[in-house]
């Protein structure tokens, strides 16, 4: 996870104010109170969307990545979990029924079927999947996007605190989210069962793209290739036009990244290209 510098915090504060949120830096206590208020108001509802939101509020918490899942199943035998493998496994094993299961039902079922004692990382990841299959919240709110993305990357997840993502973690999360929630409906019974209201028609809202652009600015990244950061180009536009990107450097990096320009490049260009390659490699290694 990353840390925000002052200019990035100022931008995120303005983004929140524009969306009707707090005008000052978000405090953990305020965020926790808001989350628990949502959970209480939805806890008695009897539909999948409400159930997923309740689980998001009460379940996206963790202890860390030191407890890596090791089990004899398609989840993963050694090392960290691969999100695509886990999602595919659950679909094959339980069809769409697990989309709105209560957390206790999932952990009990995994224990009975696979002899798995679900770690915090497993719980966070599966509940993040449920938020994605039942709601639009990760597409509409940068706070929910951040929590879901941290769960996908198996970071410590604390729903009461802002936990900035690294740019490579954002790229992996976008790939996983787009796998679960493709704009074009996939020809598969599992994806047909995802409610129409939980299918993004316009992709992510501007505040999520703004969050991604702010993370890139904070990391010193000048180019956000669509294949790594979403095909709409929105985060690049925000980075260029709102956050004061280095356009000259971006153009030089773009020429090398997309067209394979052979001419020698300054060290700052090579550094940017190396970072993009690291992001690409991270996604390929962890996606599944």
Could you give the 3-state DSSP secondary structure of residue 104? helix
- How far is it, in rounded angstroms, from Cα 128 to Cα 147? 8
Residue 244: per-residue pLDDT: 95
Please indicate, yes or no, whether the overall pTM of this predicted structure exceeds 0.75: no
Could you give the 3-state DSSP secondary structure of residue 61? strand
- How far is it, in rounded angstroms, from Cα 213 to Cα 234? 8
Q: What are residue 121's phi and psi, to 5 degrees? A: -65, -40
CA dist 139 to 119, 129, 177, Å?
26, 13, 9
H or E stretch at 52: helix 48-59
* Domain residue ranges in the chain: 6-248
Encode pLDDT of 144-188 as tens digits.
999 999 999 999 898 888 899 999 999 999 999 999 987 654 445
When mean pLDDT is compared across 69-78, 215-224, 277-286, the lowest value belongs to: 69-78
- How far is it, in rounded angstroms, from Cα 75 to Cα 81? 6
* pLDDT class of 9 with cuts at 50, 70, 90: low
Q: Which of 163, 143, 162 is nearest to 153 (CA)?
A: 163
- How far is it, in rounded angstroms, from Cα 93 to Cα 98? 9
Residue 11: per-residue pLDDT: 55
């Amino acid at each position: 996870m990353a840390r925000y510098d002052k200019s990035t915090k100022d931008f995120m504060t303005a983004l929140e104010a524009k969306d009707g949120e707090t005008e000052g830096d978000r405090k953990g206590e305020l965020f926790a109170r808001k989350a628990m208020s949502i959970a209480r108001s939805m806890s008695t509802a009897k539909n999948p969307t409400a159930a997923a939101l309740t689980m998001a509020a009460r379940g996206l918490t963790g202890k860390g990545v030191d407890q890596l899942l090791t089990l004899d199943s398609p989840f993963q035998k050694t090392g960290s979990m691969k999100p695509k493998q886990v999602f595919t496994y659950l679909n094959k094993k339980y069809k769409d029924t697990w989309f709105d299961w209560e957390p206790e039902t999932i952990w009990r079922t995994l224990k009975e079927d696979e002899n798995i004692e679900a770690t915090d990382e497993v719980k966070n990841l599966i509940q993040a999947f449920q938020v994605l299959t039942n709601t639009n919240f990760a597409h509409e709110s940068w706070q929910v996007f951040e929590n879901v993305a941290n769960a996908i990357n198996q970071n410590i997840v604390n729903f009461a605190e802002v936990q900035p993502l690294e740019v490579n973690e954002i790229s992996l999360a976008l790939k996983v989210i787009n796998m679960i929630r493709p704009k074009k409906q996939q020809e598969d019974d599992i994806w047909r069962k995802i409610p129409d209201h939980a299918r993004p028609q316009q992709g992510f809202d501007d505040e999520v793209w703004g969050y991604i652009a702010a993370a890139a600015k904070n990391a010193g990244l000048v180019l956000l290739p669509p294949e790594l950061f979403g095909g709409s180009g929105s985060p690049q536009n925000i980075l260029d036009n709102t956050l004061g990107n280095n356009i000259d450097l971006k153009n030089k990096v773009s020429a090398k990244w997309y067209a394979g320009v052979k001419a020698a490049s300054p060290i700052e260009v090579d550094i940017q290209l190396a970072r993009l390659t690291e992001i690409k490699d991270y996604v390929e290694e962890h996606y599944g």
